[in-house]
Chain A
């Protein structure tokens, strides 16, 4: 049994909040630059150039890529042979978010009550997901999530008879409805299967997967490629001004489900798809 002080988790969460909001992952940059090279409309090229210039400024000047520095989604994969000591885990994660958003001059975008509102002033609480896995490490991923794109996400409980076509139509419908709102080019996370809540979590996890990877099952890997192509044929384009690049990536995650159902969730993200991981 390995003992790990929760204060070590606080330190990592603090650092990851700042780094994720400042430096765009390499796979996302690569996808944007590949799309820029393929784009043939002048306005779309101009927008993508500005997007590239923007993340280069963030890199060089250590400033947030986007002013919506998001809700802090924190994923912990905790090895079952780890004993967390020295305090409350939930508190430790929130303290990391509090410090990261404070020291990093990140925007505090969380309200304490969904209906009555009121900013909490420190971007807490984190949206915390914990999973117990084999081993004695703790893997920490911070994925700040902006709400311009989160608001365009969707979930549907399909009848199994809707089949693959139902899912394909739903993806295109969600992207069409989102239109220019989620700051295209988007990244699309699709979760299929599980229960109502698990499908949504799968969609969020799909957004954390690098864009140069595919679902391990060739059936879904092909579906990822096919749907990315179909989304990009819609012509919405960068910022919705028309063009080839409506999305720079589409990842699918799946789980077994019930004989009576086929849940499907679509989590939309923008071109500032941020996440950073560290293992303790």
Chain B
């Protein structure tokens, strides 16, 4: 199904999304990848607050290219999510239930998604120029020293995404391929 949704990703909204849905997402999201996640989880382990309120938040796994003069952001497609698997359950535990990336997730991430009503969205890998067009605002909020990996707050409009894994653990990577192979016979 095609759905136009507005963040924050409340539990109710998260539960309404199903694997295979095509979603156009509008609202505020946060960027983080390997080094940023490591730092956020270290911060949480020390009992300190994150640089943003994680409740119902969505994190985009991306390290954009630098913005050219006049641009909001450079090219900004998703990075491979599996590298964030070690941190994703911790992030969901503190409320950040939305994840945007590409590629497979470990079973423990899927289990955490079921427990905390998480949603894993896929953006098209390698479509960084196209995805940047949906990003209307970009503000650096923390970890500036990490360069492309710094924590940014983005405002996106109608960002084209696919629900890859829903809050019940259904997985488009499995069902999409099975359906295609069954159809082909």
Contacts and interface: CB of A to CB of B under 8 A. Distances in A.
A53 B20 CA distance: 21
Interface stretch (B41-49, B87-95, B109-117, B118-126): B118-126
Contacts of B180: 41, 44, 235, 237, 242-244
Contacts of B68: 63, 105
Contacts of B102: 148, 180-181, 183, 239
Contact of A271 (B79, B126, B175): B126
A5 interface: no
Interface residues of B, number: 47
Contacts of A47: 124
Nearest to B162: A241
A148 B61 CA distance: 12
Nearest to A69: B65
Contacts of B124: 47, 50-51, 54, 239
A91 B173 CA distance: 45
A107 B65 contact: yes
A241 B22 CA distance: 12
Given A107-B63, A148-B103, A54 B126 contact: yes
A61 interface: yes
B123 to A, nearest CB: 9
A84 interface: no
Contacts of A181: 80, 82, 102-104
A109 interface: yes
Nearest to A177: B104
Interface stretch (B4-12, B70-78, B136-144): B70-78
Interface string B116-158: 0000001011111110110000000000001110000000000
Contacts of B160: 50
A60 B132 CA distance: 14
B128 A66 contact: yes
B16 interface: no
B74 A63 contact: yes
A272 interface: yes
Contact of B181 (A106, A151, A235): A235
Contacts of A55: 129
Nearest to B62: A67
Contacts of A243: 176, 180
Given A148-B80, A241-B162, A63 B129 contact: yes
A106 B124 CA distance: 19
Contacts of A180: 102-104, 122, 173
A135 interface: no
Contacts, number: 149
Nearest to B69: A105
B177 A121 contact: no
A55 B75 CA distance: 11
A181 B184 CA distance: 24
B125 A57 contact: no
Given A109-B148, A236-B177, A148 B66 contact: no
A6 interface: no
B13 interface: no
A170 to B, nearest CB: 20
Contacts of B130: 50, 53-54, 57
Interface in A165-199: 179-181, 183
A240 interface: yes
B108 interface: no
A154 to B, nearest CB: 16
B172 interface: yes
Given A105-B67, A181-B103, A240 B129 contact: no
Contacts of B103: 148, 179-181, 240
Interface of A: 41, 43-44, 46-47, 50-51, 53-55, 57-58, 61, 63-69, 105-109, 117, 119, 121, 148, 151, 179-181, 183, 235-237, 239-244, 270-272
Interface of B: 20, 22, 35, 62-68, 71, 74-77, 79-80, 82, 102-104, 122, 124-130, 132-133, 146-148, 160, 162, 172-173, 175-181, 183-184
15 contacts: A43-B22, A54-B126, A57-B130, A57-B133, A58-B75, A61-B129, A64-B129, A67-B128, A119-B146, A181-B80, A183-B126, A235-B180, A240-B104, A240-B176, A242-B178
